[in-house]
């Protein structure tokens, strides 16, 4: 049965509902439209080229006039082996030298305002283009920039290019850098360790590809029209996004699902048909979970594209689209697909909507996404063996974070310009894992409810606002009333470790000659690392009695002395495993009754393993 | 088929008659494993003996403790890994030395049983054993080196097989263990490994028998022997292997049963005993491999030297 309403009633409902505070518009304030793009692009599959024409409408939202415009020309990172990007990269030689891995962007013409030709006036320095303006652009004033460009696509090895008939088109068009409030441009070269930062805006993109191609992209498909030259043009529109990506392949199949009004498309290669429902299940779970944990996903469309983005595999996030190649691992034993998708989908909130500066403070995106991924894995698969469940080996997502963190915990702090990290390993260990472990530690200290509220509050307040680290740390104090600043100072801006130890425990009779009476008990605690965080201590006595204390951890050591009725049996620091950042939980406890059986079990198993090893190396 | 079973039974009898070989094999494994394992034991007891959380290990694997353990001992472990590799090489050389003794004693035993040939190794018992160790070390070492290109060649064949498989049916997923593609890859790998291993055994037998010949002559003779008696040598080898796989599966089941209920002291001990019983078994069984194949060789060569003595046996062998 269909219910038809008179049009005046519809208008009334629309007007009335949209003005109720907290509904719709208030829930989803549009982002400031700073850089808006109208792009027409044609894919040349023979020449592996893009022919593009774009019109950027840029608004000066800073407090000062701008006399030069800065734009990113990301594809130029691949123009030779001597670019900053390639020199910093640890890529194998074939990618640096191979002709097929060369890519670039050629600017053919630039017009500014109403037809002022800037051709020849621009200055290009690798991936940055400067456009001097004849007249400064005043605050709040806008300017139109028209650019005619071509992109030579490399074979995909770093998030962009072609692989056979498939195309991964990311960071492909001349893109405005960010003009800060102080009138300075936040325009960095494309570095190997760095991801991106841009203003929000509106994108209207017409993509023309051969007629047999299927496309996935940021935004909503509003039109698809066939052309006379056996090509087809897809028209996409997106608002409140800060980048535009698209993928194309003639092999793509599509599987759809609608979740709470969001249409999820999974574009996949035929060989991954079996994975389609599993991928959509994971996406559905993640969208729902993050919606309820952080706040509403502000778009009606979400696309997952099955395409390799680089030589080392991996996945990547873009506004309203993520890439994910279904893994070959048995999904019930090693839940790699879920882990990758939970991570990339979490980026929709942190990278896509909150959108901090990834050049300079990548942890605000990657650390949050990694933490969200861990929580989603816990929620979906439990706290034990949520990543690997194989032959009694149970590994959690958080274990992987800890492991990655410990690969290089001391070379760099998480808050640092991405290109200033010692290497990719240090970037990964600190920006992703250490940051995630910090959030985990905070959550353990303040409790789940407060942490959930905090993240919700952070997302609500800073959506579309590009917050900095200090915005987050201030909000923590404001919302939770807990002063984490000393911890932030050491963990986010420092390279120290967190390592507490129970150094010794002992109980002596008060009177040495008598068997009656109490004991003088002494527990010596030490802080071996630099990170100071208050810790709980739990002591257990022979009588079964348990005593809990806390230590602020400020000094390097702390001695607990007390008279007790019975002898001490054991003492443990951080009994509830609150400190996810602790680098050695094995020295967190001491017991007077040695755990011989555990050591024996471990050793006998290793011993048998060694016997088998000896047997094998002598079987030839 | 009869002579294969006879060789197999004789193999068992011969090993049983020289039980001290099992003892030597066992002591070798225990001592070398202990050398490799003692540093681990020291690290384990430092990190876990007075650690309340270590009781987690009793009920399962705890990745957090292990990750922190590895991080804490990272410098020691890097030295340990280096020493481990070095020690392993020494273990291989030591085993090559001992294998001369195993093969020498078992050869004498086989000959005694088949045709009352006088002992070739001087002395008896462990004295004879160590004499054979010394005597055949050079030859055994050469064969050990020879096995490297043999295995590489087998690996190459395997790669070619995979390439052909990939060309014919396309690349499949590595992780779908149950796919026939993966199963066939594993099966081919096993068959190639078994073939090399078996060839190695006959090379050693011929090295012992034709000790005055040049190594290349030994190789030629051994290969020719295996080739002309392929059905017998392969059948015996696969009979031995299948029984071994059966025992491994049985052991796996038993161990799972015991480890499932082993949270404390006595069960850890039972599990350990079970493991050591298995080690005794595979020491014993490796000697059976050696001695069964030796018996088969002695029987075949004896009948070849004296045709007509046991027509049934020979006819069967030639597949008539
Ligand atoms: Zn990420």
- pLDDT for A25-61, tens place per residue? 334 456 778 999 999 999 999 999 999 999 999 999 9
User: How far is the CA of B274 from the CAs of A44, A277, B143, B252, B267, in angstroms?
Assistant: 68, 45, 34, 10, 10
Q: Say yes or no to pLDDT of B319 above 70.
A: no
Question: Does A420 reach chain B within 8 Å, measured CB to CB?
Answer: no
Residues 263-302 of B with CB under 8 A from A: 264-265, 268, 271-272, 275-276, 278-279, 282, 286
Please count the other Cβ atoms lying within 10 Å of the Cβ belonging to residue B19. Answer: 11
* Cα–ligand 1 centroid distance for A350 (angstroms): 10
Question: Does A332 reach chain B within 8 Å, measured CB to CB?
Answer: no
CA A347/CA A324 separation, integer angstroms: 13
Instruction: Classify B103 as helix, strand or coil.
Output: helix
Structure tokens at A13: 């409902």
* Interface mutation target, options B71, B81, B144, B197, chain A, most CBs of A under 10 Å: B71
**Residue B262: per-residue pLDDT:** 54
Mean pLDDT, residues B245-257: 83
Question: Does A8 reach chain B within 8 Å, measured CB to CB?
Answer: no
ipTM of model: 0.89
Mean residue pLDDT across chain A: 90
Calculate ∠ Cα B167-B170-B175, nearest 5°: 130
Structural domains in chain A plus CATH codes:
1-251 (2.60.40.1730), 500-578+584-618 (2.60.40)
Residue B82 resides in a domain: yes
Q: Which residues from chain B sit within 8 angstroms of residue A392, using beta carbons? A: 60-61
Q: Which of A86-100, A263-277, A482-496 has the lowest mean pLDDT?
A: A86-100
Q: Which residues from chain A sit within 8 angstroms of residue B200, using beta carbons? A: 620
**Residue B127: per-residue pLDDT:** 83
Instruction: Mark residue A421 as left, alpha or beta (left: phi above 0; alpha: psi -120 to 50; beta: remaining).
Output: beta
Residue span of the structural domain in which B61 resides: 2-315
Highest mean pLDDT (candidates A530-544, A586-600, B10-24, B60-74): A530-544
Q: Which residues from chain B sit within 8 angstroms of residue A578, using beta carbons? A: none
Mean pLDDT, residues B110-121: 64
Instruction: Classify A326 as helix, strand or coil.
Output: coil
Question: Taking ligand 1, which is a single-atom ion, which protein residues have CB atoms under 5 Å away?
Answer: A 366, 369
> A576 Cβ partners below 8 Å, 6+ apart?
A444, A536
What would the pLDDT profile of A478-532 be if each residue is shown by its tens digit? 999 888 999 999 999 999 999 999 999 999 998 755 556 689 999 999 999 999 9
* Cross-chain CB nearest to B64 (options A330, A585, A606): A585
Q: Which residues from chain A sit within 8 angstroms of residue B69, using beta carbons? A: 586
* Cα–ligand 1 centroid distance for B93 (angstroms): 49
CA A120/CA A107 separation, integer angstroms: 10
Higher-pLDDT residue of B253 and A244 is A244
Burial class of residue B88, CB neighbours in 10 A (0-12, 13-18, 19+) = middle
Q: Which of A266-275, A290-299, B288-297 has the lowest mean pLDDT?
A: B288-297
Structure tokens at A538: 């739990």
Q: How far apart are the first and last CA of chain A?
A: 78
DSSP count for chain A of H helices, then E strands: 13, 32
* Cross-chain CB nearest to B68 (options A327, A394, A586): A586
Mean residue pLDDT across chain B: 82
Structure tokens at B63: 């990745």
* Cross-chain CB nearest to A399 (options B64, B92, B99): B64
User: Taking CB atoms and an 8 Å limit, are B68 and A595 in contact across chains?
Assistant: no
Q: Which of A89-93, A522-526, B98-102 has the lowest mean pLDDT?
A: A89-93
Q: What is the CA radius of gyration of chain A?
A: 29
| B158: phi then psi, degrees, rounded to nearest 5 | -65, -45
User: Taking CB atoms and an 8 Å limit, are B95 and A618 in contact across chains?
Assistant: yes
Q: Report yes or no: A348 and A321 within 8 Å, Cβ to Cβ.
A: no
CA A603/CA A597 separation, integer angstroms: 10
How close does chain A come to B31, measured CA to CA in Å? 9
Structure tokens at B77: 């472990």
Query: Which of A11, A374, A305, A353 shows the shortest CA–CA distance to A159?
Result: A305
Length of chain A: 620
Q: Say yes or no to pLDDT of A12 above 50.
A: no
**Residue B202: per-residue pLDDT:** 87
| A93: phi then psi, degrees, rounded to nearest 5 | -50, -40
Question: Does B197 reach chain A within 8 Å, measured CB to CB?
Answer: yes
Q: Say yes or no to pLDDT of B299 above 90.
A: no
β-bridge pairing A246-249 and A214-217: antiparallel
Calculate ∠ Cα A234-A156-A99, nearest 5°: 120
Question: Does B29 reach chain A within 8 Å, measured CB to CB?
Answer: yes
Instruction: Classify A465 as helix, strand or coil.
Output: coil
Q: Say yes or no to pLDDT of A102 above 70.
A: yes
CA A232/CA A227 separation, integer angstroms: 5
User: Taking CB atoms and an 8 Å limit, are B88 and A583 in contact across chains?
Assistant: no
Residue B320 resides in a domain: no
CA atoms within 13 A on the CB side of A229: 7
Mean pLDDT, residues A330-353: 93
DSSP letters of B236-284? Answer: HHHHHHHHHHHHHHHHHHHHHHHHHT--SHHHHHHHHHHHHHHHHHHHH
> A289 Cβ partners below 8 Å, 6+ apart?
A376, A379, A380
β-bridge pairing A201-210 and A35-44: parallel
Q: Say yes or no to pLDDT of A6 above 50.
A: no
Q: Report yes or no: B57 and A601 within 8 Å, Cβ to Cβ.
A: yes
Q: Say yes or no to pLDDT of B187 above 50.
A: yes
Residue B230 resides in a domain: yes
CA A48/CA A104 separation, integer angstroms: 11
B53 secondary structure, DSSP code:
G
**Residue B302: per-residue pLDDT:** 73
Query: Which of A596, A619, A601, A606 shows the shortest CA–CA distance to B33?
Result: A606
**Residue B151: per-residue pLDDT:** 93
| B62: phi then psi, degrees, rounded to nearest 5 | -115, 100
* Interface mutation target, options B26, B35, B39, B51, chain A, most CBs of A under 10 Å: B51
Q: Which residues from chain A sit within 8 angstroms of residue B50, using beta carbons? A: 589-592, 594-595
How close does chain A come to B267, measured CA to CA in Å? 10
Structure tokens at A183: 């009138």
Q: Which of A14-23, A36-45, A428-437 has the lowest mean pLDDT?
A: A14-23
User: Taking CB atoms and an 8 Å limit, are A589 and B52 in contact across chains?
Assistant: yes
Instruction: Classify B13 as helix, strand or coil.
Output: helix
* Interface mutation target, options B27, B31, B42, B50, chain A, most CBs of A under 10 Å: B50
User: Taking CB atoms and an 8 Å limit, are B48 and A585 in contact across chains?
Assistant: no
Residues paired with A54 in a beta bridge: A39, A147
Residues 217-246 of A with CB under 8 A from B: none
Structure tokens at A520: 């003088």
Residues 202-261 of B with CB under 8 A from A: none
**Residue A76: per-residue pLDDT:** 96
User: Taking CB atoms and an 8 Å limit, are B57 and A392 in contact across chains?
Assistant: no
Mean pLDDT, residues B40-64: 85
Q: Report yes or no: A590 and A505 within 8 Å, Cβ to Cβ.
A: yes
* Interface mutation target, options A586, A600, A606, chain B, most CBs of B under 10 Å: A586
Measured in whole angstroms, how far is the alpha carbon of residue A367 from the centre of its chain?
6
* Cross-chain CB nearest to A598 (options B57, B95, B173): B57
**Residue A25: per-residue pLDDT:** 36
**Residue B97: per-residue pLDDT:** 94
Q: Report yes or no: A72 and A170 within 8 Å, Cβ to Cβ.
A: no
Closest residue, chain A, to B170 (C-alpha): A271
Residues paired with A255 in a beta bridge: A266
> B118 Cβ partners below 8 Å, 6+ apart?
none
Closest residue, chain B, to A574 (C-alpha): B53
**Residue B183: per-residue pLDDT:** 82
What would the pLDDT profile of A293-323 be if each residue is shown by its tens digit? 999 999 999 999 999 888 766 799 999 999 9
Question: Does A588 reach chain B within 8 Å, measured CB to CB?
Answer: yes
CA A301/CA A239 separation, integer angstroms: 12
What would the pLDDT profile of A131-141 be if each residue is shown by its tens digit? 999 889 999 99
H helices present in A314-434, as ranges: 336-347, 363-381, 397-407, 424-427
Length of chain B: 320
**Total tally of structural domains belonging to chain B:** 1
Q: Say yes or no to pLDDT of A609 above 80.
A: yes
User: Taking CB atoms and an 8 Å limit, are A572 and B37 in contact across chains?
Assistant: no
């Amino acid at each position: 049965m269909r219910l038809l309403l008179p049009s005046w009633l519809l208008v009334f409902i629309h007007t009335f509902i949209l003005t109720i505070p907290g509904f719709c518009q208030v829930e989803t304030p549009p982002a400031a439209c700073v850089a808006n793009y109208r792009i027409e692009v044609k894919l040349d599959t023979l020449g592996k080229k893009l022919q593009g024409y774009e019109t950027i409408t840029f608004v000066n939202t800073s407090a000062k006039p701008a006399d030069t415009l800065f734009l990113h020309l990301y594809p130029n990172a691949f123009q030779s082996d001597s670019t900053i990007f390639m020199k910093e990269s640890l890529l194998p030689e074939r990618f640096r030298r191979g002709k097929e891995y060369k890519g670039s962007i050629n600017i053919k013409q630039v017009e500014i305002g109403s037809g002022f030709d800037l051709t020849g006036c621009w200055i290009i320095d690798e991936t940055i283009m400067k456009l001097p303006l004849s007249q400064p652009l005043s605050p709040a004033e806008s300017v139109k920039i028209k650019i005619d460009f071509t992109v030579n696509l490399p074979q995909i090895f770093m998030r962009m290019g072609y692989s056979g008939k498939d195309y991964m088109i990311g960071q492909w068009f001349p893109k405005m850098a960010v003009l800060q409030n102080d009138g300075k441009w936040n325009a960095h070269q494309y570095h190997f360790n760095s991801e991106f930062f841009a203003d929000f805006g509106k994108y209207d993109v017409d993509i023309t590809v051969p007629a047999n191609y299927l496309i996935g992209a940021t935004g909503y498909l509003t039109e698809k029209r066939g052309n006379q030259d056996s090509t087809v043009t897809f028209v996409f529109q997106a608002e409140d996004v800060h980048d535009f990506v698209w993928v194309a392949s003639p092999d793509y199949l599509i599987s759809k699902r609608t979740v709470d009004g969001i249409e999820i498309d999974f574009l996949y290669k035929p060989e991954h048909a079996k994975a389609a429902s599993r991928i959509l299940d994971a996406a559905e779970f993640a969208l729902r979970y993050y919606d309820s944990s952080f706040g509403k996903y502000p778009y009606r469309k979400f696309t997952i594209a099955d395409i390799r983005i680089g030589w080392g595999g991996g996945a990547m996030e873009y506004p309203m689209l993520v890439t994910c190649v279904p893994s070959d691992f048995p999904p019930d034993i090693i839940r790699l697909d879920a882990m990758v998708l939970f991570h990339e989908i979490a980026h929709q909130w942190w990278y896509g909507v909150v959108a901090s500066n990834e050049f300079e403070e990548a942890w605000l995106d990657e650390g949050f996404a990694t933490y969200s991924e861990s929580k989603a894995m816990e929620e979906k698969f439990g706290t034990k063996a949520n990543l690997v469940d194989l032959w009694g080996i149970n590994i959690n997502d958080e274990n992987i974070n800890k492991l990655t963190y410990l690969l290089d915990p001391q070379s760099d702090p998480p808050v640092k310009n991405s290109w200033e990290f010692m290497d990719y390993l240090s970037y990964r260990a600190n920006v992703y894992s250490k940051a995630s472990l910090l959030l985990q530690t905070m959550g353990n200290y303040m409790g789940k409810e407060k942490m959930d509220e905090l993240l919700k509050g952070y997302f609500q307040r800073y959506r579309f606002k590009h917050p900095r680290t200090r915005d987050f740390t201030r909000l923590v104090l404001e919302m939770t009333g807990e002063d984490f600043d000393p911890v932030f100072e050491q963990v986010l801006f420092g390279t120290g470790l967190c390592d507490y130890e129970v150094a010794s425990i002992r109980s002596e009779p008060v009177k040495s000659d008598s068997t009656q009476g109490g004991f003088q008990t002494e527990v010596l605690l030490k802080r071996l690392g630099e990170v100071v965080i208050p810790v709980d201590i739990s002591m257990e006595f022979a009588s079964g009695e348990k005593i809990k204390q806390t230590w602020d951890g400020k000094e390097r050591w702390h001695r607990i002395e007390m008279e007790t009725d019975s002898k001490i049996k054991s003492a443990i620091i951080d009994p509830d495993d609150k400190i996810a950042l602790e680098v050695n939980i094995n020295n967190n406890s001491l017991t007077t009754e040695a755990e011989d059986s555990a050591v024996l079990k471990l050793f006998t198993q290793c011993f048998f393993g060694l016997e088998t090893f000896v047997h094998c190396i002598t079987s030839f | 088929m009869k002579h294969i079973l006879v060789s197999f039974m004789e193999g068992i009898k011969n090993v049983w008659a020289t039980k001290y070989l099992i003892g030597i094999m066992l002591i070798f494994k225990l001592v070398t494993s202990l050398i490799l394992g003692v540093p681990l034991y020291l690290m384990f007891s430092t990190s876990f003996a007075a650690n309340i959380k270590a009781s987690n290990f009793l009920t399962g694997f705890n990745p957090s403790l292990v990750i922190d353990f590895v991080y804490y001992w990272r410098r020691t472990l890097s030295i340990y890994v280096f020493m481990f590799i070095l020690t392993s090489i020494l273990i291989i050389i030591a085993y090559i030395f001992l294998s001369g003794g195993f093969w020498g004693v078992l050869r004498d035993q086989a000959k005694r049983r088949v045709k009352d040939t006088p002992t070739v190794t001087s002395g008896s018992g462990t004295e004879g054993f160590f004499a054979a160790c010394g005597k055949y070390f050079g030859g055994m070492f050469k064969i050990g080196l020879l096995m490297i290109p043999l295995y590489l060649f087998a690996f190459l064949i395997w790669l070619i097989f995979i390439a052909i498989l990939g060309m014919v049916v396309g690349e499949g997923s590595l992780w779908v263990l149950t796919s026939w593609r993966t199963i066939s890859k594993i099966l081919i790998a096993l068959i190639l490994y078994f073939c090399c291993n078996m060839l190695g055994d006959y090379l050693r037998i011929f090295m012992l028998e034709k000790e005055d010949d040049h190594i290349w002559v030994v190789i030629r003779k051994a290969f020719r022997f295996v080739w002309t008696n392929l059905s017998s040598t392969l059948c015996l080898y696969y009979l031995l292997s299948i029984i071994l796989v059966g025992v491994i599966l049985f052991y796996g089941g038993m161990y799972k049963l015991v480890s499932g209920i082993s949270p404390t002291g006595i069960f850890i001990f039972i599990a350990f005993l079970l493991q050591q019983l298995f080690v005794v078994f595979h020491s014993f069984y490796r000697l059976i491999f050696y001695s069964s194949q030796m018996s088969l060789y002695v029987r075949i060569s004896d009948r070849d030297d004296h045709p007509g003595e046991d027509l049934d046996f020979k006819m069967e062998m030639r597949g008539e």
